[in-house]
Amino acid sequence: MSYIILTAAAGALCWVALTLFQNLAKKKTDPLPDKDGHKLKWKPSLAYRKTKGDDTAASSLIRYDEYSLSLTERCICIVIGSLVLGIIGYIFYKNAIAAMVLGCGGLYSPIIWRKQMIRKRQAQLQLQFKQALSSLSSALGAGKSVESAFKEALTDLRLLYPDSNAFIVKELETVNRRIENGETVEAALKDWSDRAKVEDIQQFADVFVTCKRTGGNLVQVIRRTAAIIQEKLDIQQDIQVMMAQKRFESKVLTFAPLVVIALLNFSSPDYMEPLYQGTGLLIMTTALLILIGCYAITKWIMDVKV
């Protein structure tokens, strides 16, 4: 009965903490009011970089390869990570000290969460960039200039993404504003690609800059590059859809041994007792290492890049 109570309480705490954590992470993309009551583009905790010659907070630009966790987020990360690892340690060793030692690994959980948030934001920007390429290619095909095409793409994306805080809307607003201020399109795209650290955006910016310098058919090159990148993104989305079920199955198989061990401890404690003393501890340690190795291999296999 103690195992059931412990598991239920831990699950409830994890669910509550994770819900609060996700709400905090979502609020980090909400705009903040400035001194005049206007809304800023991004919160400082999302990692800013100010543009050259502009020292106002409203002109700060987000860097997608950086993510700063607040103190609250760090604490929640550590609590959830330590709680989960502590439960796993207690299930495998049935010892409070071993559970506490394994729970210390939760101190590393903020780093894991920060990397996940960076990948999530970059993936979101990459998906939105696909729509921007489609609008840009259509505008260029209609005979518009590059500058007019970016304005047309911004108008289309505002209809597609009503949320004014959408990454692609903010970035296209920045590009158009820089063009209006006299900067070149290639300079604006280059800065965007440097901040985004997304391969497709970097490739598009490099092709654009090269075409501008060499004097090639800019419209034709951009349309061709946009078509290639869109095809690549379509393939990536198809792969993600096909692997979604496999990812879920891998998570179930990863946690299944923990559930089985906990149930056996509850239903037949005498049967499991030899595994918690003597050479049984070595067997449980080996099983835990194998489980961790299988999880790492599964993550590596599922990380398919195009």
pLDDT in tens, 30-67: 443 343 444 433 343 344 444 344 443 334 688 888 88
User: Does residue 251 have a pLDDT over 60?
Assistant: yes
pTM given for the model: 0.72
Return the ∠ at Cα 259 (arms to 256 and 260), rounded to 5°: 85
Return all residues near 72 (Cβ < 8 A) that are at least 6 apart: 24
- Per-residue pLDDT of 62-104, as tens digits, reads 888 888 888 998 999 999 999 999 999 999 998 889 899 999 9
CA distance 244 to 229: 22
- Per-residue pLDDT of 128-166, as tens digits, reads 898 888 888 888 888 888 888 899 999 999 998 888 788
Question: Six-digit token pair at 178?
Answer: 């820089």
Among the residues of 42-108, which ranges form H helices? Answer: 71-93, 96-103
User: Does residue 226 have a pLDDT over 60?
Assistant: yes
CA distance 101 to 89: 8
CA distance 198 to 119: 10
CB-based contact 87:73 (threshold 8 Å): no
Domain with 97, as residue range(s), is: 2-302
Of 265, 264, 259, nearest to 95 by C-alpha is 265
| Number of folded domains that form the chain | 1
